[in-house]
Structures are given as structure tokens and as C-alpha cells.
A and B are shown apart, each in its own frame.
Chain A
Amino acid sequence: MNHVINVQVENKPGVLARVASMFAGRGFNIHSLAVGPTADPEMSRMTIVVDGPEMEQIIKQLYKLVHTVKVTELSPGQGIEREIMMVRVNAEASKRAEILEAAAIFKAKTVDVGLSTLTFELAGDPAALGDFLELMRPYGITDMAKSGRIAISRDVKTNGKKGRLRSA
């Protein structure tokens, strides 16, 4: 089963290598990893999707790295997860209309048009990306790139006085 963890690390040279080396050295498997800045310039956030049952050890070993400040495991439904994907699909003239129609339903953006292919960009919930891929598969996927998941936790929905819902 995939688990999503958010790792807040000090923004220091080599911190990604430290995290990657720890995973490799301990035999933990990374499904995807995305890293980028946070609102605080001294910190970076890594969103790591891992499979495997050793979550407790993974989190503890991450904490052991001196530059790791906070590790949060996002249980399903607790986090907001997004991913971006670009996918190139065979699209001969006779199929183009139906492919574009399907893309429109998913709000996928057409980013390149070739003689016999269409390339879409789709960002959103990872499950939706998976669904779109399945839909495109029969036409023939010739190339695909995914960013890896990024995630943040959902904020509290009440402030103790009245319900305060946010869209997500």
C-alpha cells in the first residue's frame, strides 16, 4: 500500500542525497519523490510516496537525519494530493475528435499537436490522472511524464465557534 509522507527539511546542500541515501541504505522503496521550496526560505518540503509496511521505521529514520525537522504521514483523506502529468497519445485524424472530447471531460490541456499525436497536460488528484491514462491507453500512449505527488495536510475545519469549510 502506498503511503504519503511530508518531510520538512532544512534547505541545505545535499539534503536530498541524504534522504535518498537513507532510503537506499535501509532498503526502503520510494515510489515517487518531489521536492521544492516552502513559504520559509530556510526549509524545503519533500513529498515522498513509499510502498511497504515499515512506515514507523521510515519515519524514525527520517527523523534521525540531522536536517529533518518534521515528518508527517498523510493518511488517506487527510492530505490534499496533487500531481502533474504530460501524456502523448496516438491521434490519427479519425480519432482526434473523440480523444479531445475525453480530454475536455478531464479538463486536460492540449499542449502539443503533432501530425499523428496529441499531447495533454493534466494536473490534479493522482486518481484522476490514473483514470485519464486508462482512458487514453486504447489509443496508444507514446510518451508520458509525471511529476510525482506533492501534498499538504488539510487544515482544521472548525475554529470552535462555527463550521468553516474550505474547498479542496
Chain B
Amino acid sequence: MSNTMTGAQALIHALESQGVDIVFGVPGGAILPAYDPLLDSPIRHVLARHEQGAGHMASGYAHATGRVGVMVATSGPGATNLITPLQDCYMDSIPVVAITGQVATHSIGNDAFQEAHTWGISMPATKHNYLVTDAADIPEVINEAFHLASTGRPGPVLVDLPKDVLAATMTWHEPKAIKLPGYRPSVKGHPLQVKAAIDLILESERPVLYTGGGVIRAGAADELRAFAELADLPVVTTLMARGAMPDSHPLCLGMSGMHGSYTATTAIQRSDLLVAIAARFDDRVTGEVKSFAPKAKVIHVDVDPAEISKVRKADVPIVGDAKAILGQLIDVMEKKLGGHRSPERTEWHEQIAEWQRDYPLAFEQDPNGPIQQQYVISELHRLTGGNAIVVAGVGQHQMWAAQFWGFERPNTWINSGGLGTMGYAVPAAVGAKAGMPDDIVFAIDGDGCFQMTMQELITASVEGIPAKIAVMNNGSLGMVKQWQKLFYHERFSATDLTRHTPDYVKLAEAMGCVGIRAERPADVVPALEKALAINDKPVVIDFVCDPDAMVFPMVVAGGTNDNVIMSASDLPDPAGPQPEDVI
């Protein structure tokens, strides 16, 4: 290969050097030069039907594989359509790189055709971003972009490339050593802080390990489990941390927060020590902050110093990588224990067991009634033995999936947590399946979400990416409807979608997928079995579900976690806290 090449060739070469094997994108005018050398590259390009879909595919790919996902779009509308996936990845710390075309440098600022100020628009939605003005900078910029996306607190990085920069001639060189004097993420935790943390843990009577998605991002699930067992700590996994600790493990209490289990939420609430590992005290977890875990001291481990004491003051802050710090915690704890067992906290374990007995997560499926979504999820889990990557959209179906799917491994739960992006599931499932072709990838989606991005099933069938989608069709924007029922006196404003239009089976078939419908509980297992037997095409199952079901347990937004509502009969007083000032 000659060293003289275009900026576009340098871009593709730089992506290859990063080990990129697949990119998700949509071409257009300004990015055209980059698509030409892509034809000669071993990198696979998946042609999405909308740039937002390409972005969520890159995100789903990154979630499932742990590698950096890459999305490509043209200037203007191509780039602005990536903003939602970028912000989504920013909120959930998902490593992705976005490559966008830009109008030629001499046209920038002239309101040229398909011009947008992508650098400015994407700035607050990315960890960092670049506007490249010289083709000679491409090796360094791409190298830095992947470094920033995948190290420290992972996140999205955007590289904006004007068309003339892509077309310009440059001489390829290996990227110079990365020089970012302001970017030095900590890895190891401060030894004194680690020691202080162990002292607090040994003194505590009611400790809880409160774990966030960062445990999965850091690849620290094994260390988490080892530490929990060594120190005998009950583990709560937030929405983003589902799978970080096996749900079947006796120390795992599942998800806490707004729709968490009574036990997980209450254990945190009554604890005297929260050991927060790569969790960020999100409002969905804490409820009202001032009454959150009022008796607990806090050890907070996070790679991002800005998360520590942002919401809740940490008594022992430890900045660094979750995997490294869990390793340090294990070492120090082992030394302290000197071969002895961790102090027994019999009372605390008994209390937790009592909550688990008295307030289990449960549902009822009336064989003659409408299909309950929890039933579909439980049966799918049974039929797959839990061996699947589960992808969810946002809403009731997402919460039920998080509650009722028993997660055993990290990177098997893919959802939009922080941003709550409806429409995430279909494209994210396509991206996940592209990255993990040998795994069953099953999206559990809502009908509202499905209608936002379902066209990516065309991508899936044309590109031969057989993801499976369960559409939980309750004919409504279910979670919004639930709030209207609970807080707006059952005034159902703009939440009705109908369960009949569109015809999801025909729609699936029109998009080259297999369409299956299940209308009664007895249809559920055969439909799932049929779907699981198909491996050469994407499958869509239309589960016609109960339109009135609500997600419980529930803590009212902004309310205290002391008040976990277990069922509809347990509903808050309509004169109680109203949601005007809370989301």
C-alpha cells in the first residue's frame, strides 16, 4: 500500500487499525468520499434505514460485545439524526464513535446544502468531539477518538469530517503517541481509601453493595461476585447493572428503585452502609434524595470523580476503575480476615429473607384472561434457559423485562436507561445480533417503541441479521397511561394506539421477517417456540396483551423509597403528591 492516500482512505485505514469489523450507517453527499474506499475494506457496512437506527445499532453492538461501536452519517440531517443515540450512549456510558460528513471547509458557515453545526450540536451529547480541518490529522484524531470512547468513563465521541478533507491527499503515518494533558483517568484506587472502605464494611451491620452499569462496562462482574461472597454483602443491581451479579445467587437482591423489588429498595433504604460501585444515585434509584437510605454511610467507587458526592455525599470516595478497585478491596479484605470468615450478619440476612418471602415479585396469568407481559417474559426465559441477550425499549415492558428475566451473565441486558429512548430496542437488537451472531438476541419491545424504529427490521432481513422481536402490544403508551391512571384521574390523553393497527404480522412479513401472532395465553409458548426455531430470518411476534396492566412495585416519582406501592389496591391517595413537579 502506498503511503499517499486520500483523507477518506486514511479514515478507513485508521478504522481498520482500530480493529473495527463493522460499522452502521447511511451514506449521503458530504460523506460520499468515505464510502468509496469502504467498498475495498474488510469492514462490513450495515446500511440502516435511518441514522438514528444506525446509532442505536452501534450502541447495541457496543453493549453486547464490549467493543467500540461505530456509526456513520452524512452532514446536516444525517448528523442531527445521530444526536439521540449519542446522548443515549452518553447517559449510559456506552463506547461509540460517530463519523459524520461535513460540507467542505470553505462552505462552513455559509448555510450550505445539508449543513449543520454538527460540532456545536453534538458537543453536549458527547464525551468529546472533533472537527477535522486537515487530512494529515486523521490518524491522530481517530486514534484519540477510540481512546477517549473506550477508556475512563466510556462514552460517545464524534468526528466531523468536511468533504474536502476527505478528498484531500495526505501521507499516511502511524498515529503519534496520544497527547492529552487534561485526560488522565484514574485506574487504581487510593490505598488509604480502600483500607478505610474495608474498615467501614467490617464495622457495618446492614451493608448493601449498590452496583451500577459501570461494573459491566469495566468487565468487573467476576470481581464483584468474589468480593460480595468474601465480604458477605447483599447485592442490588440497578437497571443498568442487571447481569453484573447472577440473579440466582443467594446474595443478589435484584433491581431497586422506582420499579425495583421491595427487598432491593428496602434493603438499601434500611442499610447502614451503601457500597456504591460504579453507580450514580440516579433519581430512579433514590426517589426523594433527602429520605434516601437515611442511616447509611456511603462508600462510592467511580471512575468519574464528578459522580462522587454529586447527589449523595460520600463518606469514603474512591476514584478509579471498578475492576481494579474491586481487586484491591478483595486483597485488603483477605488480608484483614486472615483466612477467617467475614463477620456474620445473621439478623440482616434474616430480615432480607423475610422481605423476600413476604414481598416477592409476582404476577398472575389468568388462562382465560388477556396475556400478561410478565408471563411472556417468564416463558421465554424458561424456553431459552435464560441463554439469550435481552434488549428492551422504554416503558412498562422494559421494567417487566428487568424484573422478571433472571440475568446470569453481564452484557446480556441491553436497554436505554438514562435517556429512556423509546424505539431503542429494534435497532439495538440488530446491532447486538450483528456483534454476537451465535447468541439468541431477543428484543422485548412495546408497541409504541416498535412503531418508532421498526423500519430497521428491513435492515435486519436484508443484511441477514436474524434478531427476534416480541412486540408487547397493549395498544397504548402503557407507562404514560399508567401515570394518567394513577395521577391524572384516568384522563387518558393521547396514549391510545389501538391493538389492531398496524397489523404487526403483515408488517413483519412486508419487511422480510416472519410474523407470528399470539392472542391468548395458550398461544404464548407455541409462538415463542416457533420463533426460537427460526434462525435464518428476523422474527416478530405480536403479543396482544392486557391493555390495563400496571407495573408494580412502584415508588411515586420524587416520593420516598419508604413507601413502596405493591399493587393497585395499595394506590396512593389522589390528594397525595402530584406529578406536576416531578418526572
Q: Report which A residues bind B (CB closer than 8 A).
A: 9-10, 13-14, 17-18, 21-22, 25, 56-57, 60-61, 63-69
Contact = CB atoms under 8 A, between A and B. Distances in A.
Interface string B480-524: 000000000000000000000000000000000000000000000
Contacts of A17: 120, 123
A66 B305 contact: no
Interface in B39-68: none
Contact of B306 (A14, A60, A69): A60
A35 B305 CA distance: 26
Interface in B96-145: 119-120, 123-124, 127-128, 131
Contacts of A22: 124
Contacts of B305: 60, 63
A102 B513 CA distance: 85
Contacts of A68: 182
Nearest to A8: B182
Given A21-B124, A66-B148, A69-B181, A57 B119 contact: no
Nearest to A43: B181
Interface size class of chain B, counting residues whose CB lies under 8 Å from the partner chain:
10 to 19
Contact of B183 (A18, A57, A66): A66
Contact of A10 (B120, B131, B148, B182): B182
Contact residues of A: prevailing secondary structure: helix
A69 B123 contact: no
A19 to B, nearest CB: 11
B306 A9 contact: no
A58 to B, nearest CB: 10
Nearest to A42: B181
A57 B306 contact: yes
B306 A61 contact: yes
Closest 7 CB pairs of A and B: A60-B306, A69-B182, A66-B128, A68-B182, A25-B124, A66-B183, A69-B181
A64 B304 contact: yes
Interface in B272-317: 304-306, 309-310
A38 to B, nearest CB: 13
B123 A21 contact: yes
Nearest to B183: A66
A96 to B, nearest CB: 48
A13 B131 CA distance: 9
Instruction: Specify which of A14, A22, A64 lies most central, judged by the most chain B CB atoms within 10 Å of its CB.
Output: A64
Contacts of B582: none
A166 to B, nearest CB: 29
A135 B428 CA distance: 66
Given A18-B123, A66-B148, A57 B310 contact: yes
B182 A67 contact: yes
Contact of A14 (B119, B182, B183, B309): B119
B181 A10 contact: yes
Contacts of B182: 9-10, 63, 65-69
A17 B128 CA distance: 13
Given A9-B182, A14-B123, 4 more contacts: A13-B131, A60-B305, A64-B306, A68-B182
B419 to A, nearest CB: 14
B180 interface: yes
A2 to B, nearest CB: 22
A64 B310 CA distance: 14
A85 B31 CA distance: 49
A60 B309 CA distance: 11
Contacts of A25: 124
Contacts of A65: 182
Contacts of B123: 14, 17-18, 21
21 contacts: A9-B182, A10-B181, A10-B182, A13-B131, A14-B123, A17-B123, A18-B123, A21-B123, A21-B124, A60-B305, A60-B310, A63-B182, A63-B305, A64-B306, A65-B182, A66-B180, A66-B182, A66-B183, A67-B182, A68-B182, A69-B182
